[in-house]
Amino acid sequence: MLGEVQQTAVHDGLVSYHDFGCEHASCNAHHLRELVAAGEAYPEHTWPRIARNTLEELNTAAHTAREAGLDAIPAPIVDPLIARFVRTVHLSLLVRLRDCQHHVLLFARDLTVWSPTSKPNATCA
């Protein structure tokens, strides 16, 4: 399908695309739709709106930088936006909870496994 792509493949994150020998980037249109859905599902939370707005601001900054002939968004613009995005969605925690579900939820499937959420004063290694 993609053959030998020499640039970056921007896609929805389907794992099979990673079989192609090229750099990969996520299509933020998918993320924006998911953030809209999260905001609708949890209207009491502000993080979906903040994350969506930040991705949109980063996209605008990228277009502005390209139009100005720059190779990158200037650090004074991009760094605070990326920091806000990471702070807002707690990316590492969300990824870890999603990608390590087996480990995160093992205490619920195997009652010989103790978790601080199920045993007072227990600690995680």
Q: Which residues pair with 23 in a beta bridge?
A: 8
Q: How many CA atoms lie within 13 A of 45 on its CB side?
A: 14
Q: How confident is the model at residue 78 (pLDDT cuts 50, 70, 90)?
A: very high
Provide the mean pLDDT of the chain.
75
For residues 50 and 104, which has the higher predicted lDDT (pLDDT)?
50
For residues 27 and 83, which has the higher predicted lDDT (pLDDT)?
83
Q: In the chain, what are the domain boundaries?
A: 8-89, 92-125
- What is the mean predicted confidence (pLDDT) over 96-100? 66
Output the pTM of the full model. Answer: 0.65
